[in-house]
Structure 1
Amino acid sequence: MASEAFVHIGAHQPRKEDARLLTGHGRYIDDIEVAGALHACFVRSPHAHAEILRVDMGAALDMPGVVAIYTGHDLAQWTTRHRMAPPIEGLRAMEMDTLPTTKVRFQGDPVACVIATNRYLAEDAAEQVQVDYAVLPAVSTMWQALATDAPKVDDDLPDNLLSHQHAVHGDVAGAMAGAHRVIESTFSQHRQTHLPIETRGCIADWDVGRQHLNFQVGTQVPHPYRTTLAARLRLSESQVSVVSPDVGGGFGQKIALYREELTVAAISMQLGRPVRWREDRMENLLASSQAREDFCRTRVAVDAQGRVLALDLEIVEDFGAYSFYPGNYLARVVAMIVTGPYRIANYAYDVKVVLSNKVGNGPMRAPMSVTSWVMEGTLDAVARELGLDPVAVRRVNMLRPDELPYTMATGEVLADVSPNATMDGVLAAIGYDRLRERQAQARADGRWLGIGVCNVVESTTYGSKFYKSAGIAGSGHEAAWIRIEPSGAVNASVGLGATGQGYETSLANAVADGLGVSPADVRVLLGHTDIAPYGMGSRGARGGTAGGGTLYLCAQQARTTVLAIAAHLLGLADAQALRLLESRVQQQVEDRWTDTALTLADIARVAYLDPLALPPGVNPGLEFHLTYEPPPMTYSNASHACVVEVDGATGAVHIERYVVAEDCGTVLSPVVVEGQQHGAIAMGLSGSLFEHVEYDSATGQNLSGSLADYLVATSHELPHFELIPMHTPNRSTPAGIKGMAEGGVMGAIGALSNAVNDALAHLGVVVNQQPLTPMYLRGLIRQAQKNPNKTST
């Protein structure tokens, strides 16, 4: 499949959707006017953990414009409880109400919903709702959660350990016992949040006469979202339409059906009127899903050359208060793929996921983001301990091309990746040997330069078999349809949910090359459950392989039928010598392709309006449907190199240069891929340097509830990204697509951290937690300067 010549796939064309988005003609939730819509505002808990004693709504109900106020007891009558209980060994089932009825579990937990004639009146009334609480001790850290005497976050569970998985592959103990050295490293990743430009919001409109709910919401997974929404409302899926218009970013935050959205839908049904809700920025920082908070410890057995003999990984993840996803989901993926492009046969992992009085966790762009930092940071630790060059340690452990496909210790199969080539490419681009010489000279001059290298293997398309082997409920298949209209115009759809990825461009290219038309003639329709086929939506990096691949295969199916009709109309026995190029039917005569008298519009006209002229066995019309199950997992890979200078006086980090060599297979759209790379790297660097959702250790109060406290990198703090395309196709996917979108986050976290460690290595400082703030680094530097013979961490 990967050897075909492409006309539009890989062509450098502007994004089709940018014309409307950049001129203010995008259509987001707030741009949609619904006559007579009421507005919702939520009353939120000021406490991290407390019993709800009484909700006094009297004063608020008397305010002008207030229509109604509802609590968790009302919602319990109208909706079902959410139950997360996949049959996974070591994972405990969790249930939760739509709104809490007995106690709140984090600061910002929604306690009541005020409905008023406009948003301002609803917000004013929400402030007048009086809630009496009995404050309980809060669980604010993962270590508090694991304590035997810790308060229980979920009273239905025996303790706060939500999930625990352990596995041993090979002879880890034997390799440890016979090793030259066993080296231990730790990595602490801090809690972050997704921070989309467009916060969460929705419009629910219950049609009493048709008994049908039209629900408009920015979501990455329209069909699974509809399935869950309908079930929670006790409706059939045919009674619910989910429509996702333009969406201002998701990054994983817009996958789950959240309690606020379900509440708005249920209230619309009760009132028989449209109800809308828009989360403000403070609510987004306080109460939307969060991610990333985990602690990892590695123990690695090595020989004298730094060759890894065994790896033992421990992960503890803080999952927050509620389970919108299986508790094992995020950390388990890290454990399954952490060995990356390296030859490691003996491997063990232990993964604990705990509950705390914080916002519930969800996947954030690269939910396995810590993976590369853990593996690459471990190899850097080996190099430091043994006095070896970090690149040399990578080379001795890296899989050779002749060893691929390679079955990892966990059973995952690594195929069609090129880590040797990308690492060589990025090292050549930065001039690694010369850079080491410059680093030594700079250090002699009192300047602290650091070089960080991070090789990334990014899991992209999670097929159904992967979910099953990981013990995670879910499907990885995708569905598409293509309809060629009587005029020859092409409409296409797939079950993805666009949140800014440029799907209308990249997917149009896939259809165009699969069929033989111009992308300008292809309209891609997404995000409407009454129009799009039932697909699994956008998560991870499945848009290219699952979405683009399915559309490409469906377009090829359409092309076969179109050419069969053309052959019949031209009086040919078959279509072997025909092709469709830019909507023109061409015939090969000897070694030349020449236009025939037929175009796609001619064939479409016959298919719809003159069906008796069709060949035998061909039905009228040109509509095509196809479902596709991708491989269990596809991987792309990249190598990141980061050069930094750390200011010894302040601890500030300046990124001097950032270079990436990337292999993500066949590129549907270079513009889209470059944008994905820039965005992912920026997110990784911003998260590593600045972003931090911080909770008070005693009370569980969120100390970062505004953008004055939750800092985000701007263009001023980020370097120029140098991108080196080194793409090779995947041999088992349509068109050779591998997918990409999250590896940039993974690489940025690892490359930056490794570079900072390299800059401070002469002090004996080891950076093992993020964010890499000047205060944190300056503290380590001071400690190292006071105790020059002791390693600081």
Structure 2
Amino acid sequence: MTDAPPLPPPPEAGSPLGRPLRRREDRRLLTGEGRFTEDIASPPGCLHAVFLRSPHAHAGIGAIDAAAARALPGVAAVLTGRDLAALVAPLRMAPPIEGLQPMEMPVLPVEAARFVGDPVALVLAETRVAAEDAAELVGIAWDPLPAIASVADAAAPEAALVDPALPSNRVSLQTFATPGLEAAFARADRVVQARFGQQRQTHAPMEPRSALALWDNGRQHLTMQVGTQAPHPYRSALAVRLGLKEWQVTVESPEMGGGFGQKIIPLREDLCIAAAARLLRRPVRWRETRGENLTAVLHAREEVVTTRAAVAADGRILGLTCAIDADFGAWSFFPANYMARVVAMILPGPYRIRDYGYEVSVWLTNKCPSGPMRAPMAITSWVMEGTMDAIARALGLDPLEVRRCNSLTEADLPWITATGERYDAVTPLATLEAVAEQLGYAALRAEQAARGPAAETLLGIGLCTVVESNTYSSAFYRAAGIPGSGHEVASLRIEPSGAVIASCGLMGSGQGYDTTLAQAAAAGLGAAVEEVQVQIGNSDTAPYGMGSRGARGATAGGGALYLAGLKLKAKLLAIAAAMLDLNSADALELRDGVVLRRLAEGWAETGLTLAQLARTAHLDPLRLPPGLEPGLHQILAYDPPGTTYTNSTHACAVEVERATGTVRILRYMAAEDCGTRINPMVVAGQTHGATAMGLSGALLEHAAYGTDGQALAGSFMDYAIARADDLPAFELSHHDTPNPRTPAGIKGMSEGGTMGGIGALMNAVNDALAQVGARLEAQPATPARVWAALRGAADPTRA
């Protein structure tokens, strides 16, 4: 592992860092020349897979009659959970975390299906149509069982057990409190309570999942061509479950049309087709339908959070507690405490809260299992910022003033949170002030007062300051009781021509890695960006890394490549010094692929280039300085010294139509501090995309279930996502403070927009509704829900 070097001076004009370069990958993607899994031709003898799924929320699996299906022309096999259990080991999720119950999951259920869409059999045929027809002929003797469709059902006395191996449906319980918490509440002038509910959502990537499994029986080797965000962890998990060595598995990830956390690990379908390819010694291809993607892969976000704030009369928070109840679904692909506990750990966010406590309960239900989704801690900022608004309303104070008096300032840094997290170089008060000025906060408040509560359209103002945890360090995982590592590995290789090949364990799904990773590597190395080629996504050629998740790409991946570049540059300059007959390289620098020498009057070219140095290193090793080995290849592992944090403040103004409940966003802006921006254009795009995702979730999206556990959102007719005309123009400003503890001051930033979008929108809607005594405790803020809140409120304008 390598510590970060001292923070470099601000990039000079022309430096690869900070340049708004157009994304180099866009040309192939926009002209239809990208290569996705579906663009890979089916090899000879390829079988097509279709999964038979449970129509019941909870049902015992009796006899499975596949005779008619197997007799259909073109059908090669019908495999059940019992067949596959001999080929794929079960997944046991049992990290040693206090309060977390161990769970075990077979590759396909054998005894009982636990949610609508649970896969229970696999049909393999020469064509997809034949496989679909055969699946219709498989008969299953179902024994319907009581379904648990909500946390309330799960917690009820004598509730049916989702997992009969557990003593109750509460799969995880963690608590925490600082020693001074009780005393803080005892001295409070007021205790303010607020409740927040986030609805179940799903990732809805543009490209559903797809995979092609190829088994080479002669070499006993499996190749998986699949879109995955983490090729190496995916390979390791696949190998373990299939009883293979990692060198027996190659993962090739082509282009990916979005992942958002859904494409990190091998899920059950992936394992089934890999096992089938090995069993039948034929290639196997599976294409997920949109309905399967919406109902049967991974869901996220369903949780209810209740806060209690002990406050002084001036709005200062003396102590805070939160209780979280999270609906985890039916099976455990990830530790059940993972997402909800991260919410609890970072909840105090940008505020000076020393005394804090939480209780996190995670419940099993008969719904699609949960997993990480872009900003798995998405509800955090709405909860904290909504609590600030609740304090302001309870005390008759201005919401902006309450935030100001509680906000962390530069004088408070470095700040150690109540849960032990460290904030460096965050500027929440600065971004708050910037966005309030940009929005014209005072003028909007005056307009709101002038309109009054009797207006047909209610004006609402929402503020949301975000402290986004992005690059989770290994230390964070240990503190959270979550197995995992936060390090990343970079490989930087220079060929004899001077061409540079950069690689790490990330895999892109739209982030622009081909461009930004090249910029990071070029900045460390001193090469021209155009000479750097990024190669990621193949587990055989890229170094073993932790993949793309959270917002770790820039700091972990970019940081590792930047550091590898610095190390390789030191070797290059040593070679240059020898070629120039200098005693040391102290006065030399490599910029844009050219060796410069510092003279009294400034920097001067030496006549040497990166290409010349590369030829010497590879092809003329006798000219190298003593002790310097031939070649130019640097491998470096980087583990961030702690979790990095980015901050931003989002603000929006909305109008709410009282007659219909329709919400219209008038203006939306964000002031952001994400440290050194590798590529400002990519940062803007990531902020736009993340914010759009947050607004879409808060306004529209709902993976709804009936009280009987039936999935009600199986298509885009039922699962609404925002269209372009549903979203406002985004006004962005930047207030960048480099992080002194990371390479080049990089922080990461790709999830804060989701958090800020949710919080700013919901706070604006509730600010409008508060004028007539209404409040929306739970998302989404659809017209029907807003209208119902208005109708149910005590409206002082109506006698």
> Same fold, TM exceeding 0.5?
yes
SS, match of residue 626 in structure 1: strand
One of 198, 215, 224 as aligned partner of 1:189: 198
Question: C-alpha displacement at 1:235, in angstroms?
Answer: 0.3
Question: C-alpha displacement at 1:625, in angstroms?
Answer: 0.5
Change (3 A) 1:13 1:46: same
Residue pairs, 1:640-719, within 5 angstroms: 640-697=650-707, 699-719=708-728
SS, match of residue 521 in structure 2: helix
SS, match of residue 319 in structure 1: strand
One of 358, 367, 370 as aligned partner of 2:367: 358
One of 597, 606, 615 as aligned partner of 1:605: 615
SS, match of residue 285 in structure 1: helix
Tell me the distance in 2 between the aligned counterparts of 1:129 and 1:34. Answer: 26
**Per-residue Cα deviation, 1:282-306 (whole angstroms, up to 9, x for no partner):** 1101101000000000111111111
SS, match of residue 763 in structure 1: coil
One of 229, 239, 264 as aligned partner of 2:248: 239
One of 21, 29, 45 as aligned partner of 1:21: 29
Question: C-alpha displacement at 1:34, in angstroms?
Answer: 3.3
Map of 1:536 onto structure 2: 546
1:64 is the counterpart of 2:73: yes
**Per-residue Cα deviation, 1:649-689 (whole angstroms, up to 9, x for no partner):** 00000000000000000001111111110000000000001
1:742 is the counterpart of 2:742: no
Tell me the distance in 1 between the aligned counterparts of 2:546 and 2:227. Answer: 15
Question: C-alpha displacement at 1:4, in angstroms?
Answer: 2.6
Tell me the distance in 2 between the aligned counterparts of 1:532 and 1:71. Answer: 36
One of 438, 443, 446 as aligned partner of 2:447: 438
Contact kept, 8 Å, 1:170 with 1:345, in 2: the verdict is no
Tell me the distance in 2 between the aligned counterparts of 1:784 and 1:483. Answer: 66
Tell me the distance in 2 between the aligned counterparts of 1:600 and 1:314. Answer: 58
Instruction: Could you tell me which runs of 5 or more consecutive residues in structure 1 were left unpaired when the two chains were aligned.
Output: none
Residue pairs, 1:14-53, within 5 angstroms: 14-36=22-44, 37-53=46-62
**Per-residue Cα deviation, 1:455-475 (whole angstroms, up to 9, x for no partner):** 000001100001001111110
Change (3 A) 1:789 1:455: farther
Question: C-alpha displacement at 1:544, in angstroms?
Answer: 0.6
SS, match of residue 758 in structure 1: helix
Which deviates further from its counterpart, 175-184 or 468-477? 175-184
Map of 1:491 onto structure 2: 501
**Per-residue Cα deviation, 1:500-536 (whole angstroms, up to 9, x for no partner):** 1101111111011111111111001001010110110
1:162 is the counterpart of 2:155: no
Which deviates further from its counterpart, 436-445 or 341-350? 436-445
Question: C-alpha displacement at 1:8, in angstroms?
Answer: 1.3
Tell me the distance in 1 between the aligned counterparts of 2:308 and 2:346. Answer: 16
Question: C-alpha displacement at 1:227, in angstroms?
Answer: 0.5
1:754 aligned partner, one-letter code: N
Residue pairs, 1:398-413, within 5 angstroms: 398-413=407-422
1:382 is the counterpart of 2:391: yes
SS, match of residue 78 in structure 1: coil
Question: C-alpha displacement at 1:787, in angstroms?
Answer: 8.0
1:325 is the counterpart of 2:330: no
Tell me the distance in 1 between the aligned counterparts of 2:261 and 2:343. Answer: 17
Q: TM-score, normalised by structure 1?
A: 0.98
One of 397, 410, 415 as aligned partner of 2:406: 397
1:615 aligned partner, one-letter code: P
SS, match of residue 69 in structure 1: strand
One of 272, 276, 279 as aligned partner of 1:270: 279
Tell me the distance in 2 between the aligned counterparts of 1:28 and 1:104. Answer: 32
Contact kept, 8 Å, 1:642 with 1:752, in 2: the verdict is yes
Tell me the distance in 2 between the aligned counterparts of 1:588 and 1:147. Answer: 75
Contact kept, 8 Å, 1:55 with 1:131, in 2: the verdict is yes
Tell me the distance in 2 between the aligned counterparts of 1:183 and 1:590. Answer: 66
Which deviates further from its counterpart, 759-768 or 242-251? 759-768
Question: C-alpha displacement at 1:410, in angstroms?
Answer: 0.8
Question: C-alpha displacement at 1:631, in angstroms?
Answer: 2.1
Tell me the distance in 2 between the aligned counterparts of 1:539 and 1:447. Answer: 41
Map of 1:349 onto structure 2: 358
SS, match of residue 176 in structure 2: strand
The CA RMSD over aligned residues, in Å, is 1.2
Map of 2:522 onto structure 1: 512
Matched residue count? 789
1:571 aligned partner, one-letter code: D
User: Stretches of 4+ moved more than 4 A in 1?
Assistant: 785-790
Map of 1:522 onto structure 2: 532
Question: C-alpha displacement at 1:26, in angstroms?
Answer: 0.6
SS, match of residue 643 in structure 1: strand
**Per-residue Cα deviation, 1:304-342 (whole angstroms, up to 9, x for no partner):** 111111111000000000111001100000111100111
2:248 aligned partner, one-letter code: Q
SS, match of residue 553 in structure 2: helix
Tell me the distance in 2 between the aligned counterparts of 1:668 and 1:591. Answer: 30
SS, match of residue 633 in structure 1: coil
Question: C-alpha displacement at 1:632, in angstroms?
Answer: 2.1
One of 294, 297, 302 as aligned partner of 1:288: 297
Question: C-alpha displacement at 1:13, in angstroms?
Answer: 1.0
Map of 2:3 onto structure 1: none
2:382 aligned partner, one-letter code: W
One of 729, 735, 740 as aligned partner of 1:731: 740
One of 186, 193, 215 as aligned partner of 1:177: 186
SS, match of residue 204 in structure 1: strand
1:769 is the counterpart of 2:778: yes
Contact kept, 8 Å, 2:772 with 2:796, in 1: the verdict is no
SS, match of residue 528 in structure 1: coil
**Per-residue Cα deviation, 1:588-629 (whole angstroms, up to 9, x for no partner):** 221322212211111111111111111111111111110011
1:3 aligned partner, one-letter code: P
Change (3 A) 1:160 1:305: same
Identity %, equivalent residues: 55
**Per-residue Cα deviation, 1:377-429 (whole angstroms, up to 9, x for no partner):** 00100000111000000111111210111111111112210011101110110
Contact kept, 8 Å, 2:256 with 2:508, in 1: the verdict is yes
Residue pairs, 1:244-263, within 5 angstroms: 244-263=253-272
Tell me the distance in 2 between the aligned counterparts of 1:399 and 1:516. Answer: 37
Instruction: Could you tell me which runs of 5 or more consecutive residues in structure 2 were left unpaired when the two chains were aligned.
Output: 1-5
Tell me the distance in 2 between the aligned counterparts of 1:26 and 1:123. Answer: 29
Tell me the distance in 2 between the aligned counterparts of 1:591 and 1:534. Answer: 46
1:503 aligned partner, one-letter code: Y
Which deviates further from its counterpart, 779-788 or 20-29? 779-788
Contact kept, 8 Å, 2:473 with 2:487, in 1: the verdict is yes
One of 9, 23, 30 as aligned partner of 1:4: 9
